[in-house]
Amino acid sequence: MLRQSDLKGVDISKLSERIITSLFADDTMIYLGPSDSIEAVNKITDTFCLATTARFNKSKTEYLPLGSVEHRNKVVNERKFNGSTIPDDASIIKDDGLLRTLGAMTGHNPNANEKWELVLERTNQIISAWAESHPSYRGKELITKALVMSLGFYLSTVNGMPPHIADQLEKQIKDFVWDGKAKGYTHGRKEPH
């Protein structure tokens, strides 16, 4: 319905078709162009929901204004897009905010440091819990690969990993694997690592 509508979406010069929507599981992103209206989108989604008995949770709707800084600020301050009022229960992502899309953090100044701090906190919890059981080096390798490194894998793929986070994560893993001992020394004997 969206692709056959009169909505213009977003044109990108190197793409042959306009970008109007992206869908994944139960997430729907709709891209509105300068002449599109929120009412037109609501009419389409309401018809879709009526036909399929699906339901959009409009209170979870987020708007990420595109365009010049002046335009984005105007959308945020006036809560209007092309004359259409943005509902009060919908959030508008400001320039310093992030929109989470399938785990990726997007926005005008994307900074996923807060998300990375949560990853570091969670990896520390996992390492601390497993360290109490005194696993073997092979066990520590498996824990590190399966539980610790997997936590940040997707986020690093979509947003990259800041160098300071990589350094902290590396230190957490080395301290876990080598029991916090100086490089090369374990159980009183020197071992390479």
**Looking at residue 121, what is its pLDDT?**
94
| Contact predicate 56/49, CB 8 Å | yes
In angstroms, what CA-CA distances link 20 with 2, 12, 32, 71, 116?
7, 11, 7, 20, 31
In angstroms, what CA-CA distances link 52 with 1, 24, 36, 46, 48?
12, 17, 24, 10, 6
Spell out the residues 6+ positions from residue 167 whose beta carbon is closer than 8 angstroms to its own: none
**Looking at residue 79, what is its pLDDT?**
92
Structure tokens at 140: 């520590």
**Looking at residue 181, what is its pLDDT?**
79
**Looking at residue 100, what is its pLDDT?**
77
**Looking at residue 120, what is its pLDDT?**
93
**Looking at residue 124, what is its pLDDT?**
94
**Looking at residue 191, what is its pLDDT?**
52
**Looking at residue 155, what is its pLDDT?**
79
Question: Cα Rg for the chain, rounded, in angstroms?
Answer: 23
Structure tokens at 139: 């066990």
DSSP labels, 58-110: GGG-EE---S-HHHHHHHHHHTEETTEEPPTTSEE--TT--EEETTEEESSS-
For 43, phi and psi rounded to 5 degrees? -65, -45
DSSP state of 4: T
Mean pLDDT, the chain cut into blocks of 10 residues (193 residues total): 79 81 79 86 88 84 88 91 87 84 74 83 94 93 92 82 91 90 60 51
**Looking at residue 89, what is its pLDDT?**
86
Cα–Cα distance for residue pair 119/127, rounded to 1 Å: 12
In angstroms, what CA-CA distances link 135 with 117, 128, 155, 178, 192?
26, 12, 28, 11, 19
Cα–Cα distance for residue pair 159/101, rounded to 1 Å: 11
